[in-house]
Amino acid sequence: MIRLENVSKEFPGGSNAVLDLSLDIPTGQTCVLIGPSGCGKTTTLRMINRLIDPDRGQILVDGEDTSKVDPAHLRLRMGYVIQQTGLFPHMTIGENVATVPRLWQWDKPRIKARVEELLLLVGLDPAVYRDRYPHQLSGGQRQRVGFARALGADPPILLMDEPFGAVDRITRERLQHEFINIQRSMRKTVVFVTHDIDEAVMVGDRICLMQMQAKVAQYDTPEKILTRPASDYVAEFLGRERLVRRMSVVTIDPAALEHPAAGAARGEPRVQLTSSLTEAFAAALTSPTERVAVFDGENYVGTFTATSLLESLRRAGTDGGEQVATGI
């Protein structure tokens, strides 16, 4: 667990970039920091790996006060993906990815094997890319390398500052999905900065929505944030599309399904009961009957329709989220 206790940071000549921030980030989870430009996200991240030292307060990693740890040593345990990738331009892709294993003084064959493994993991063929230089890669490929480099020596903690910021929407979505898949198997403790709420909802186990000076407006699961914004500030930040975004975090409610006597009709698309409403609705739009057969494993449990969509959203909003229900 990463624990920030009453952390503040003031830069010379400015007001506080971070003022009295307290935050717990549980081990193995992805915590997203989101908020307006200049609210202190990068500063918070850089205080965790001690690129910046706080003026006041403490940062603990697994109970250990990081101010007592040698910063260089601390950073070896924390992969860092910076805003705009920050690859070393004069080093090949292979050398970039090998940065931290080299600092750990791994032997050459082990480093070589690790570089291969990581490039494959992020979807870059080592034979093609290992000996290229960063300028010979596309923006999306460079971001993959940045991610691979951060994973270098398999650190338990990853700090990611707008890691997928500099690419087009489609590449970005692909990178987000790859990140989610990789994180599912690795379960690192990740602090992920973004200012894109859709990205936050997609990758985060928890979202910390900040106001200026890193003031926590709400720290919660994506679903709670979208369903029950804690203040007008949060609701405004999420915007009108909040109700649509909820579709991606709310799953099908079995009680909202229809049960035609004939069961699942032939030619209807199938989705699993664990699907999000977005997935189910997308399937319904491609269905000749505008209906979708819902399965729990191998068992047919009912049929999803546009009415099921509204009903599922309404039910998800009723235990505490009355405003949401009336908004539909």
Ligand X SMILES: Nc1ncnc2c1ncn2[C@@H]1O[C@H](COP(=O)(O)OP(=O)(O)OP(=O)(O)O)[C@@H](O)[C@H]1O
In the complex, least distance from residue 40 CB atom to ligand X, rounded to whole angstroms: 4
- Residue numbers of the site for Mg ion (CB under 5 A)? 42
Q: Name which of 129 and 164 has its Cβ closer to Mg ion.
A: 164
In the bound complex, what is the minimum distance in angstroms from residue 41's beta carbon to ligand X? 4
Contact 76, 66 (CB under 8 A): no
> Binds 39, which of ligand X, Mg ion, none (CB < 5 to 8 A, cut-off by type)?
ligand X
Shortest distance in whole angstroms from residue 17 CB to ligand X = 3
The C-alpha atoms of residue 140 and residue 175 are separated, in whole angstroms, by 8
Q: How far is the CB of 13 from ligand X (least distance, A)?
A: 7
Toward ligand X, which CB reaches closer, 11 or 300? 11
* 60 CB-contact burial (10 Å; exposed 0-12 / middle 13-18 / buried 19+): middle
**String of b and e for 81-107 (b: at least 16 CB within 10 Å)?**
bbeebebeeeebbbbbbbbbbeeeebe
User: Of these partners, ligand X, Mg ion, none, which one is at the site of residue 109 (CB under 5 to 8 Å by kind)?
Assistant: none
Cβ neighbour number for residue 190 with a 10 Å cutoff: 25
Q: Would you say 98 or 208 has its CB closer to ligand X? A: 208
Distance CA 211, CA 216 (A): 6
Binding partner selected for residue 17 from Mg ion, ligand X, none, CB under the kind-specific 5 to 8 Å limit: ligand X
Asked if 43 and 94 touch (Cβ cutoff 8 Å), the reply is: no
Nearest-approach distance from CB 42 to ligand X, in angstroms: 3
- The option from Mg ion, ligand X, none interacting with 63 (CB < 5 to 8 A, set by class) reads none
**Min. distance of Cβ 180 from Mg ion in angstroms?**
22
Q: CB of 23 within 8 A of CB of 216?
A: yes
User: How far apart (Å, rounded) are the C-alpha atoms in residues 181 and 97?
Assistant: 20
CB of 81 to ligand X, least distance (A): 14
Q: Sign (positive/negative) of CA torsion 290, 296, 299, 301?
A: negative
Q: Quick one: what does residue 43 bind among ligand X, Mg ion, none, with the CB cut-off 5 to 8 Å set by partner type?
A: ligand X
C-beta of 84 vs 221, nearer to Mg ion = 84
CA distance 115 to 151: 10
For residue 111, the partner it binds in Mg ion, ligand X, none, with Cβ less than 5 to 8 A by kind, is none
Residue (43 or 305) nearer to ligand X, CB: 43
- Note the residues at the interface with ligand X (CB under 6 A): 11, 14, 17, 37-43, 195
Q: Three-class SS of residue 129? A: helix
- In the DSSP assignment, the letter for residue 228 is S
- Name beta bridge partners: 258: 303
Q: Choose between 21 and 249: whose C-beta lies nearer to ligand X.
A: 21
d(CA 101, CA 114): 8
Which of residues 6 and 27 has its CB atom nearest to ligand X in the complex? 6
Residue 71 contacts which entry, ligand X, Mg ion, none (Cβ below 5-8 A, type-dependent): none
